[in-house]
Amino acid sequence: MRVFFLSIVASVLPFAFMAMDRAETSAGVAEILPLAPIGADALYLADAPVDLPLAVDHLDIAAQDGNLLLILLASGGTACPKMWAYVDAGADPVWVSEPFGTCHDNAQAQMTERGIEVISPATDPGQSGDLRYWLEGREIHEARAPSKSLGFTQVAQWEGRHPKLLVNDPAWEGRFLAAVGPIGLLELRALFEQASVLEWEGDWLVAQGCKANACGHLKGALAMRRDGHALVAVIGRAAADPLAGLRIYGDAQNQPLPQAIIQVFAGHVE
C-alpha cells in the first residue's frame, strides 16, 4: 500500500502530500481498487463504487482532510496526464466535484490555509506561472499565481527539474529572450505540458516535451550548454496545424547538436 506522508512544518506554511490508495473516513474505508476485467482503477467507499466525473486508467487518493478527499484522475499515454476531483465522503449521498486542472504532469497537491489546494502550471498559450485550485463549500475556486524564481544561476542546477519551471523562471527570462526571442519563449512555455526532466547529454542539458492532448501535433526539445553560452530549441508542428513546420530558435555556437534536438528533426520528416 502507498504511504500517506505529511511533512512537519509550521501551520502557516503549506505541506505536501504523497498519494495513497486507502483512507479512513467517517463513512468507512475509501479505497482504490482495480476494476475487472479491464484493469482500470475505481474508487470504492465502504465497499460501494463511487461514480467519478472522468473514466481514466489510474486513480490515487492524492490528499485527505477529514472526510474530504482529493482524487487524482490520471490518464496514460499522451492524453491529459493529470486532472483532479474532490470527493466529500461524509455527505449523503457522497458528493463528487467536476474535474478540474490544467492537464499538466507536474501538478501537485498541498495543504494550505485554504485547505487542500492543487497547484498546476499554466498551459494556455503565453501564460506562465501556476494556477491554484481550492474548494469553498461546493465551489472550486481558481486563481493564477505569478512565477517564482528558484534562485538558480547555473545551468547545472536545473538537472532533474521539469523544463516548464525553467522557461517560466523570472530570473532566466532575460536569457531566453536574448536567445530565442519573445515568440520562441512563448512557444516553449506552451510546449512543456508533458516532458522529460532536464538531463545531461554530454555537455548539453536537454529535455523533450509536447502539449497534452496534442503530442502527435506539437512537440519539441530544449538544450542548454553546461557553460550557459549556447541555447537551442526546436518546435515541430504537424501538417494539420495552421502553423505547420519546424521552428528553430537560439544558437548552438558551432557545437554539434544533441540527440534530443536531432530526434525532433527526424520525427518531423518521417
Ordered by where they begin, the domains of the chain are 15-145 (no CATH), 155-269 (3.40.1420)
What's the rounded Cα separation, in Å, for the pair 203 and 13?
Answer: 38
Asked whether the beta carbons of 184 and 233 are under 8 A apart, the reply is yes
Q: β-strand 40-45 against 48-50: which pairing, if any?
A: antiparallel
Q: What is the pLDDT of residue 210?
A: 87
Asked whether the beta carbons of 185 and 126 are under 8 A apart, the reply is no
Q: What is the mean pLDDT of the chain?
A: 85
Q: Give the position of cell 524564481.
A: 149
pLDDT digit string, tens, across residues 141-176: 999 877 778 899 999 999 999 998 899 899 999 999
Exposure class string for 159-173: b at 16+ Cβ within 10 A, else e: eebbbbbbbbbeebb
Q: Please report which confidence band the pLDDT of residue 7 belongs to, taking 50, 70 and 90 as the band edges.
A: very low
What's the rounded Cα separation, in Å, for the pair 211 and 71?
Answer: 23
What's the rounded Cα separation, in Å, for the pair 68 and 35?
Answer: 23
For the cut 50, the answer to whether the pLDDT of residue 13 exceeds it is no
Q: What is the pLDDT of residue 189?
A: 85
Q: What is the pLDDT of residue 103?
A: 85
Q: What is the pLDDT of residue 3?
A: 33
Q: What is the DSSP letter of 251?
A: E
Where would I find the H helices in 157-242?
A: 163-168, 173-191
pLDDT digit string, tens, across residues 183-227: 999 888 888 878 889 999 999 999 999 877 677 778 899 999 999
Backbone φ/ψ region at 266: left (φ over 0), alpha (ψ -120 to 50), beta = alpha
Asked whether the beta carbons of 102 and 119 are under 8 A apart, the reply is no
Q: What is the pLDDT of residue 186?
A: 86
Q: Please report which confidence band the pLDDT of residue 76 belongs to, taking 50, 70 and 90 as the band edges.
A: low
With a CB cutoff of 8 Å and minimum separation 6, the contacts of 219 are 191, 208, 209, 210, 211, 235, 236, 264, 267
What's the rounded Cα separation, in Å, for the pair 111 and 223?
Answer: 35
Q: What is the pLDDT of residue 125?
A: 61
Q: What is the pLDDT of residue 12?
A: 36
For the cut 70, the answer to whether the pLDDT of residue 45 exceeds it is yes
In this prediction the pTM is 0.63
Bigger pLDDT: 269 vs 55: 55
Residue type, 36: A
Q: Please report which confidence band the pLDDT of residue 1 belongs to, taking 50, 70 and 90 as the band edges.
A: very low
Asked whether the beta carbons of 117 and 99 are under 8 A apart, the reply is no
